[in-house]
Structure 1
Amino acid sequence: MRRRMHLAAAILCVALVLPLAAAAVGKATAAAPAAPSAPPNVTAAMAKGGCKAFAALIASSPDAASTYASAAGGGMTVFCPSDDAVAAFAPRYKNLTADGKASLLLFHAVPVYYSPGSLKSNNGVMNTLATDGAAKNYNFTLQNEGNVVTIKTGASGAVARVKATVLDADPVAVYAVDRVVQPVELFKPAPSPTPAPAPAPAADAPKAGKGAHARHRAAPVVADAPGPDADDAPPADQKKDSKKSSAAGVLRSRWFAAALAAVAVASTLA
């Protein structure tokens, strides 16, 4: 009889304790925070959005792949060149060292999440995943003109333009660009623009005369005045003629005198 009473009491206790324990477990489960969701697969998003070649380059570079994977959890914005842009740039990419290739790939991402709206409201210099303090600047300039977002660097490569949004899932955003962005740390800087030549000074405009005829009348041409002896001096030909005339006159006078002398002598003899 006693055993039956003890068994009934135990069953009653279990029946009372079990609901209380289940309620406590339920409260603990509800209070526990939900596990954070894993960041999106950046390279997979690139491949689906027209940047398959660029995603393959990241996967082939261990340094770039690990940096992209770790940066995705803290916030990141990627500017991935299209497949056509990567194909056009392939010869220059092959000439880079392994470190240079990794730096170029990391140069296309910034460690901050920019939604499409915030991207169009930001202008200025931005650090990239390739930036390492003063040792490696690896910065580019983001500019907005209306709905056009461009990326510029000091290198001679053309400006890259944002074409489309590939992924917008906070804390990661991926945008497709039409060119490979070239850092000045790896490529030659753009040449300085040649300054335009200074305009020639304008000639002084002639002063207008009075009346319509004065405006169209040409200025009279004044001849140089002759020297003080120009009017008195005879030409060279006249000087020669004068000398010849004088000589002829002297000869005639001498001949006439001789003739008179001969007549005088003849008269005397007669």
Structure 2
Amino acid sequence: MCRPRLADALLLLALAAVTTTAAAAAVAKAPAAPPPPPPNVTAEMAKGGCKAFADLIAASPDAASTYQSAVEGGMTVFCPSNDAVKAFLPRYKNLTADEKAELLLFHAVPVHYSLGSLKSNNGPMNTLATDGAAKNYNFTLQNQGDVVTIKTAASAGAPARVKSTALDKDPLAIYVIDAVVQPVELFKPAPAPTPAPAPAPAADAPKAAGKAARHPAPAVADAPGPDADDSAPVDQKKDAKKSAAAGRAPCVRWWLAAALAAVAAASALA
């Protein structure tokens, strides 16, 4: 039986050590795999239903560079839908280049919020447009159940509502909203709603009765009674009495003459 000699065993150990060292050096020299590139923000917006808003960002160099550099540290974008951007374009065109960039940056938050964490937050949030105390550019996030809304003092009508999720994968989340959010730094605060007018008090009386009270009917004289019609004036009564007295005087004289004649005849016969 052949037994290995001590020298051969030592030689084998040395070869094994050299092989192990060479393999370790090769592994150390191999370059590390590069990290995956950050997602393309505007491309993800366009795929999620916000192509019009993505085109506005691409047309603004300041906004485009800020969006792409901020995504590496985590970002949440609230991108208005295509219909919302179309309705807002007339006002957007009246802004300066700097104001357009600020409006676009106002729709992103420099923190990644998953949909679950978004629904548990309420209150003001800083945006990519926030610049310390000089430019607040904050909006108020509100949620009730599954409904998440964004509002500012310049928002007219209902606040912008989160409609759907375009992307939610760390470090980027993109949520589609149904309106363009307007910062108070660029737009006037919305006017307070006008209170409804108080109901008119009920009329105390019908209109006809009111007219009768203002224009009373003229008084009508009482019709004369039958006695009043038949009665004669006072002067006419006096004349009638005198006529009656004058008519009775001849009758008295005639009766007196007749009586005297009778007496005279009786005396003659006697």
TM-score of the alignment, normalized to the shorter chain, above 0.5: yes
Compared with structure 1, are the counterparts of its residues 151 and 72 closer, same or farther at alpha carbon in structure 2 (3 Å cutoff)? same
Larger radius of gyration: 2
TM-score, normalized by length of structure 2? 0.65
Structure 1 unaligned spans of 5+: 1-13, 204-234
TM-score, normalized by length of structure 1? 0.65
Is 1:254 the counterpart of 2:239? The answer is no
Cα deviation 1:182-239 (Å, max 9, x = unaligned): 2233234333222234467899xxxxxxxxxxxxxxxxxxxxxxxxxxxxxxx67359
Does the CA-based 8 Å contact 1:157-1:181 persist in structure 2? no
Counterpart residue type for residue 168 of structure 1? D
Quote the residue 1:232 is aligned against: none
Is 1:86 the counterpart of 2:74? The answer is no
Compared with structure 1, are the counterparts of its residues 126 and 22 closer, same or farther at alpha carbon in structure 2 (3 Å cutoff)? same
Question: Within 2, Cα distance between the matches of 1:137 and 1:260?
Answer: 129
Deviation at 1:20, TM superposition (A): 8.2
The 5-angstrom pairing of residues 1-270 of structure 1 reads: 38-153=37-152, 154-156=154-156, 159-198=159-198, 237=224, 241=229, 244=232, 246-259=234-247
Deviation at 1:108, TM superposition (A): 0.7
Compared with structure 1, are the counterparts of its residues 137 and 240 closer, same or farther at alpha carbon in structure 2 (3 Å cutoff)? farther
Deviation at 1:27, TM superposition (A): 9.8
Counterpart residue type for residue 143 of structure 1? Q
Cα deviation 1:99-135 (Å, max 9, x = unaligned): 1110110011012211011112222222211122343
Does the CA-based 8 Å contact 1:156-1:187 persist in structure 2? no
Compared with structure 1, are the counterparts of its residues 236 and 45 closer, same or farther at alpha carbon in structure 2 (3 Å cutoff)? closer
Counterpart residue type for residue 251 of structure 1? D
How many pairs does the alignment contain?
Answer: 226
Q: Secondary structure at the match of 2:43?
A: helix
Compared with structure 1, are the counterparts of its residues 256 and 197 closer, same or farther at alpha carbon in structure 2 (3 Å cutoff)? same
Cα deviation 1:139-162 (Å, max 9, x = unaligned): 222222332222223322653222
Counterpart residue type for residue 112 of structure 2? Y
Question: Within 2, Cα distance between the matches of 1:116 and 1:264?
Answer: 140
Structure 2 unaligned spans of 5+: 1-13, 204-221, 261-270
Deviation at 1:91, TM superposition (A): 2.7
Q: Secondary structure at the match of 1:237?
A: coil
Question: Within 2, Cα distance between the matches of 1:263 and 1:88?
Answer: 125
Quote the residue 1:213 is aligned against: none
Deviation at 1:170, TM superposition (A): 1.9
Deviation at 1:73, TM superposition (A): 2.5
Question: Within 1, Cα distance between the matches of 2:248 and 2:55?
Answer: 139
Which portions of structure 1, spanning 4 or more consecutive aligned residues, are displaced by more than 4 angstroms?
14-30, 33-38, 198-203, 238-243, 259-268
